[in-house]
Amino acid sequence: MEFYSLKMRASQHVGEGANAHEQHISGAERIVNRDSVEAVCSAMVRRAMTHSKGNPDFINVKIEKVQENDIQILKALPVTRIDVETSKQGLDKAFELITPLMGSGSSTSSAEHIEKLRDKLQELLCETYPMRGAMLYDIATGERLEPDHERGVRATYMDALHSSEVDGKKNHFNEAIVLATKVANAPGMVAELCISDDPEYVTGYVASKKLGYVRIMKMKTLGDENGGRIFLFDSNKAKVEDCIEYLQKKKVLVEIPPSSNA
Ligand code: PML
């Protein structure tokens, strides 16, 4: 079968003079068979042109042929969900799940140490809010490893296996389970923490090979535009170059069992 990768990003020019910049409006990516390229491409353009964030004045669609034997097929992480009443409870739950995984860079696991890691995660999360991609944080050294801190690192070249969907609308869960599964399989990856930057979407997740994909149904308050991703990496386990290469270059299709959205 012949496969193609399609990537779309749309932005709008905002501000004037020294404040002028391109504001991100919408982005999407797929890996589909040849027959679906045209339909998926127009659905992407529709998505960009009808986005609630505004009318784009720049849309870039990139279409590339992908060799079938370069594609890795992965099974989706198993999905569980945690219902919470408040975003504070949701964040606490996320930190509680992640902090024990951050221990390998350190020799202590006292309550005080866990509290420190929790504060660190909270601080890192706030630093991701203005970033376009994810933060790549080394739990062994406490260093940020993104080559460009403003841009962050982006996981790309991925889609759901057998996805025939050409609908232009964003499905947060479907896109996130694909991305989280790819990220969890990157060399040296320990865990991921994600909060959507969509003000209308309050569900976030933590994910790792150990935890699976844990949906936390409320991680921020409705209307809040802040969101971000942290990839927790352990440089004792792999080279950062290999991790970034996998995230940005490896082509991955994720097998999602029916009704896996917990
Ligand atoms: C995003 O908006 O890119 C993040 C989506 C998080 C999805 C969480 C879920 O519904 O499981």
154 touches ligand 1 (CB under 6 Å)? no
Please tell me the distance between residue 113's alpha carbon and the centre of ligand 1 in angstroms. 29
For residue 113, what pLDDT is reported? Answer: 78
Contacts for 25 with CB less than 8 Å, ≥ 6 apart: 10, 11, 12, 48, 51, 53, 54, 56
CB-ligand 1 contact for 229 (6 Å cutoff): no
**Residue having the nearest C-alpha atom to atom 2 of ligand 1:** 196
Atom of ligand 1 nearest to the CA of 170: 2
Q: What is the pLDDT of residues 70-110, one digit of tens each?
A: 999 999 999 999 999 999 999 999 999 999 998 754 555 67
From ligand 1's centre to the CA of 179, what distance in Å? Answer: 10
Nearest residue to 260 (alpha-carbon basis) of 77, 83, 94? 77
CA 16 / ligand 1 centre spacing (Å)? 32
User: What pLDDT, on a 0 to 100 scale, did the predictor assign at position 109?
Assistant: 62
What pLDDT sits at residue 34? 94
For residue 261, give the ligand 1 atom closest to its CA: 11
Taken in order 9, 10, 12, 13, the sign of the CA dihedral is positive
SS3 176: helix
Note the pLDDT of residue 162.
78
Nearest to 124 by CA among 212, 194, 209: 194
Residues comprising the chain, all counted:
262
**Closest Cα to atom 4, ligand 1: which residue?**
196
Verify whether ligand 1 is closer than 6 Å to residue 198 (CB atom). Answer: yes
Residue 32's φ and ψ, nearest 5 degrees, are -135, 165
Q: Is 218 in the pocket of ligand 1 (CB under 6 A)?
A: no
Flag whether the pTM goes above 0.95: no
Per-residue confidence (pLDDT) for residue 54, from 0 to 100: 81
Residue 73 CB neighbours (<10 A): 9
Which residues make Cβ contacts (< 8 Å) with residue 54, sequence separation at least 6?
12, 23, 25
Q: To which residue do tokens 């990768």 refer?
A: 5
Q: What is the pLDDT of residue 105?
A: 47
Is any ligand 1 atom within 6 A of the Cβ of residue 133?
Answer: no
> Of the candidates 92, 71, 90, which has an alpha carbon nearest to the alpha carbon of residue 81?
90
- Ligand 1: does its nearest atom lie under 6 Å from the Cβ of 156? no
User: Which residues in the chain come in under a pLDDT of 70?
Assistant: 104-109, 164-168, 262
**195 Cα to the center of ligand 1, angstroms:** 7
Supply the pLDDT for residue 170.
75
72 lines ligand 1 (CB under 6 A): no
Q: Where are the domains of the chain?
A: 3-66, 72-260
List Cα–Cα distances, 10 to 139, 157, 195, in angstroms. Answer: 34, 17, 21
